[in-house]
Structure 1
Amino acid sequence: MNKTFTIFGGNSNTALTAELCDHLGISQGRARAERFSDGEIFVEIGENVRGVNCFIMQSTCSPPNRNLMELLIMIDALKRASAGSIVALMPYFGYARQDRKVKPRTPISAKLVADLLTAAGADRVLAVDLHAGQIQGFFNIPFDHLVATPVFRDLLKLEGLRGQEVVVVSPDAGGVERARLYSKLLDCPLAIIDKRRDGPNVSQVMHLIGDVAGKRAILVDDIIDTAGTLCNAAEAVLKAGATEVYAVATHGVFSGPAMERINKSVIKRIWVTNSCPQEDRLARCDRLTVVSLGPLLAEAVKRIHHGDSISSLFY
């Protein structure tokens, strides 16, 4: 019997793609993505996909430009092979931090990526914890925005990080909504750090709003990139009287000096998802724990394929 849906994987999330297929009980779609000697990307679909609902797993993490281009070419290849539908599964949506003009004569690159995905032929996009939820409005095709909260919620409770002796801390004003959700689910108070950003990957803690004295603090963020914001926030929280500092982030980008900073920081433990590959980072940081998005994404894929609601997965 012919397949009715299949999962294809780009080169950025090979382990997560394999796990997703295991959860769904299907074999991964055959596709070959290679580069010519000059760096051009070539994709060949190795099976019949006519009328098949195709899901492509590809985070646009480092190197973002190569992974994005590979995704676009794979979408185009499937479209020209008469796929029934094409859904881009992007656990980490690169360029999401460029969602507005921060200075005159600067781009809105997140909108450009949305246009590229649509022009390439994607029928639907799914991402986890966008840096700004409003990015969904850049798309004229259906967009499913999942959150990683269900993935972390039970884990944090098992670690005993709940109740009034714990405080959830947002490392900046933009993450307050996310931190408030964790605060509600863990039944604990909320604090906010007011920071000033002087340039890309450069931030300075200005004020701490809320009481953290005598509490175990959980810093909650969507992305850890160079870890400057996170480590500065952890120092500020500890100086304000917190007994321990933990961190939870959906996307562990960990670029530049990130791992070195984390190893020298006061943070006791960090949890991230596998939206970006973490195998090499685990060997370099014993404070890092990776939680899988596989079960969440597998359930989303099943519901999208069968036309069922996925709203219950949001929280």
Structure 2
Amino acid sequence: MRQAQIFSGSSHPALVEGICDRLGQKQGKAELSKFSNGETSVQILTSIRDQDVYIVQSGSSRINDNLVELLIMISACKGGSAKSITAVMPYFPYCRQSKKKSHRGAITARMVANLLHVAGVSHVITIDLHASQMQGFFKCTVDNLVAEPLIARWIKTHIRNWQEAVVVSKNAGGTKRVTSLADALKLSFGIVTTDRRRFLGHHLHDPYSMAGSMILEKLVDGLNEHQENGSLDSKEDEKKELTSEGVETQDKVESDDTTPNGMAPPPDTPDTPPANDLRRSRTEPTTIAELEEEFTDERARDVITGRLIHGHIVDEEEQQPSPSISAASASATPRLARISGYDGMHSARGGSSDAGDPPEHMMSSFISTTSSFKTQSVIGGHIDVGATSEEEEEDLQDSEVETMVTLVGNVRDRPVFLIDDMIDKSGSWVAAAETVIKRGGATKVYCFATHGLFGDNCLEELESCECIEKIIVTNSFPIDVEKAERSQKLTILDVSSLLSEAIRRNKFGESISQLFMHYD
């Protein structure tokens, strides 16, 4: 390409070599160094006057150094009278911090976009932003490419029975990405969600939770006194009500013995049902079995639930609450039952007060209700603002947090494709894989992601998981060569062809819409 220069940062030189090879372009010469105190120094050694400059710099494990280095390179090229400066950032730094999670939090992704604008960038090319709405942070044009066509092509080429597979999202936030791939491949999709459920004993003694507040304590005491004082009066009121209904019904029958014409009603006229039967037909179910049967839905049979302990699924025969959980929640069960009104409802329907413990499915709803007061302490109370992958990973590893997992979708005897934009920690991936295999009955699990960050021992933990068949990522984020060679399940897809074509089309003013399409 004439009148164009491609410069490489220090984050991913191998990717830049692949881009230049496909474009038949030589890399622009630049000297990148550091002073003794850690300051970054950049010197452009090629004339860039009135030329289109492309600087390829992806995020890496040294993300702060890479970001500052990119900003200095942009400023240096701007000072060198470049015609335009395009930042090619396959993995955009700080893309996970694109929203305010607390009142004193920072929207760091917007700050990075502002820094690029101040440095002098005129165009940004990236791949699979964590949130596509981030494009509104930039004051320049943004090309947010997708790796979905590359992943779909690999699936069709390397998986024999891919037509029978199910595309599954490991959290609720990735449903749009999953449905997009499922529509492209014409496959079914499902969702795996995890729900944090704190122990009841912690909430009842937590001063910051609703269950442990003084207001709720007074409310509970008031309900207890009301139920104790009104237990004897309720039976007498019920007798009076039944008696009054019987008298009214009897008077009505006596007044209606004859028709308006003075003739007796025909003998085959059905008798009026007793008042007690009429009363019972208008009321709710009288037993717990009838109550549970009323809310049974046939579609709910496709929803599979399970329990996670330390991030691993528990077998069905082991899915009983641990003694510590039972002890912590024993004192809380009657109180929560009275708060919800279940205890009084059960007593009114003929049940004894001692046997008025709620069933397991209703108790789980009580747990989630009390835990939501503390977990949804975010701006606006919206769960999407507070739910992050980092918090999910912490909950999976926390022994004091009971995590419930839910699988929506039929995956039995089918391969499963777990999809997300990045793999940083292994907890949620292992939990989702074990859920679809051990509870859903899936045959194999393939993990797909655009950015393979693999923090800490993530790759080793995914490698040791027996439920995971393959791990497929792209080279948008630099992966250590030795770590990749030790893994038997890791497959890395090359995105140099995608980026080089985007650069070429951008240089010659061509449309890039073809890069978003799927080809057989």
> Would the aligned equivalents of 2:162 and 2:415 in 1 still touch at CA under 8 Å?
no
Question: Aligned pairs, how many?
Answer: 314
Q: CA deviation at 1:91?
A: 0.3
Q: Pick from 397, 403, 412: which aligns with 1:213? A: 412
Counterparts of 1:308 and 1:192 in 2: how far apart (Å)?
A: 38
> Would the aligned equivalents of 1:203 and 1:229 in 2 still touch at CA under 8 Å?
no
Are residues 157 and 144 of structure 1, via their aligned partners in 2, closer, same or farther at CA, if it must alter by over 3 Å? same
> Would the aligned equivalents of 1:259 and 1:284 in 2 still touch at CA under 8 Å?
no
- Show the counterpart of 1:188: 187
Gaps of 5+ in 1: none
Q: Establish whether residue 243 from structure 1 lines up as the match of residue 443 from structure 2.
A: yes
> Would the aligned equivalents of 1:203 and 1:228 in 2 still touch at CA under 8 Å?
no
Q: Pick from 287, 293, 297: which aligns with 2:489? A: 287
Q: How does 1:1-315 map to 2 (within 5 A)?
A: 3-160=2-159, 163-196=162-195, 199=391, 201-202=393-394, 204=396, 206-239=405-438, 240-265=440-465, 266-278=467-479, 279-315=481-517
Q: CA deviation at 1:62?
A: 1.3
Counterparts of 2:135 and 2:70 in 1: how far apart (Å)?
A: 19
| SS of match in other structure, 1:61 | coil
Are residues 203 and 156 of structure 1, via their aligned partners in 2, closer, same or farther at CA, if it must alter by over 3 Å? farther
Are residues 161 and 184 of structure 1, via their aligned partners in 2, closer, same or farther at CA, if it must alter by over 3 Å? farther
Are residues 203 and 288 of structure 1, via their aligned partners in 2, closer, same or farther at CA, if it must alter by over 3 Å? farther
Counterparts of 2:395 and 2:431 in 1: how far apart (Å)?
A: 8
Are residues 58 and 200 of structure 1, via their aligned partners in 2, closer, same or farther at CA, if it must alter by over 3 Å? farther
Counterparts of 2:432 and 2:395 in 1: how far apart (Å)?
A: 10
> Would the aligned equivalents of 1:164 and 1:189 in 2 still touch at CA under 8 Å?
no
Moved more, 292-301 or 157-166: 157-166
Taking structure 2 as the reference length, the TM-score comes to 0.59
Q: CA deviation at 1:103?
A: 1.8
> Would the aligned equivalents of 2:127 and 2:144 in 1 still touch at CA under 8 Å?
yes
Moved more, 162-171 or 227-236: 162-171
- The C-alpha deviation readout for 1:167-215, integer Å capped at 9, x for no partner, is 1111111111111121122221101111345727435462111111111
| SS of match in other structure, 1:33 | strand
| SS of match in other structure, 1:283 | helix
Taking structure 1 as the reference length, the TM-score comes to 0.96
| SS of match in other structure, 1:89 | strand
> Would the aligned equivalents of 2:178 and 2:419 in 1 still touch at CA under 8 Å?
yes
Gaps of 5+ in 2: 196-386, 397-403
- The C-alpha deviation readout for 1:232-291, integer Å capped at 9, x for no partner, is 211111122111111110000011121221122121111110011122331231110111
- The C-alpha deviation readout for 1:128-183, integer Å capped at 9, x for no partner, is 00110000010111000000011111111012366552011111111111111211
Moved more, 227-236 or 214-223: 227-236
Larger Rg: 2
> Would the aligned equivalents of 1:171 and 1:219 in 2 still touch at CA under 8 Å?
yes
> Would the aligned equivalents of 2:392 and 2:428 in 1 still touch at CA under 8 Å?
no
Counterparts of 1:151 and 1:105 in 2: how far apart (Å)?
A: 40
- Show the counterpart of 2:336: none
> Would the aligned equivalents of 1:234 and 1:267 in 2 still touch at CA under 8 Å?
yes
Q: CA deviation at 1:85?
A: 0.5
Counterparts of 1:203 and 1:242 in 2: how far apart (Å)?
A: 25
Q: CA RMSD in A?
A: 1.6
Higher strand share: 1
Identity score, percent: 42
> Would the aligned equivalents of 2:156 and 2:162 in 1 still touch at CA under 8 Å?
no
Give the structure, 1 or 2, with the largest relative contact order (CA under 8 Å, sep 6 or more). 2
Runs of at least 4 residues off by over 3 Å: 161-164
Higher helix share: 2
Counterparts of 1:202 and 1:16 in 2: how far apart (Å)?
A: 33
> Would the aligned equivalents of 2:155 and 2:162 in 1 still touch at CA under 8 Å?
no
Are residues 162 and 85 of structure 1, via their aligned partners in 2, closer, same or farther at CA, if it must alter by over 3 Å? farther
Q: CA deviation at 1:53?
A: 0.3
Counterparts of 1:257 and 1:23 in 2: how far apart (Å)?
A: 34
> Would the aligned equivalents of 1:9 and 1:17 in 2 still touch at CA under 8 Å?
yes
